[in-house]
Structure 1
Amino acid sequence: MIQEFKQFIARGNVIDLAVGIIIGAAFTAIVNSLVEDMINPILGLIIGGIDFTNLYFVMSGNVPDGASLEAARNSGAAIFAYGSFLMAVLNFLIIAWAVFLLVKAVNRVQTAALRKEEVKEEEPAGPSQEELLAQIRDLLAARPGA
Structure 2
Amino acid sequence: MSEKQEPGIWQGFKAFLMRGNVVDLAVAVVIGAAFTNIVNSVVKGIINPLVGSIGTKNLDSYSSCLSSSCQGTHGIQLMWGSVLGATLSFVITAAVVYFLMVLPMAKYLARLEARRRAREGTREVVEVTELEVLKEIRDALVAQRGSGHNER
Q: TM-score, normalised by structure 2?
A: 0.45
Q: TM-score, normalised by structure 1?
A: 0.47
* Greater RCO structure (CA 8 Å; 6+ sep): 1
> Which structure carries more helix by proportion?
2
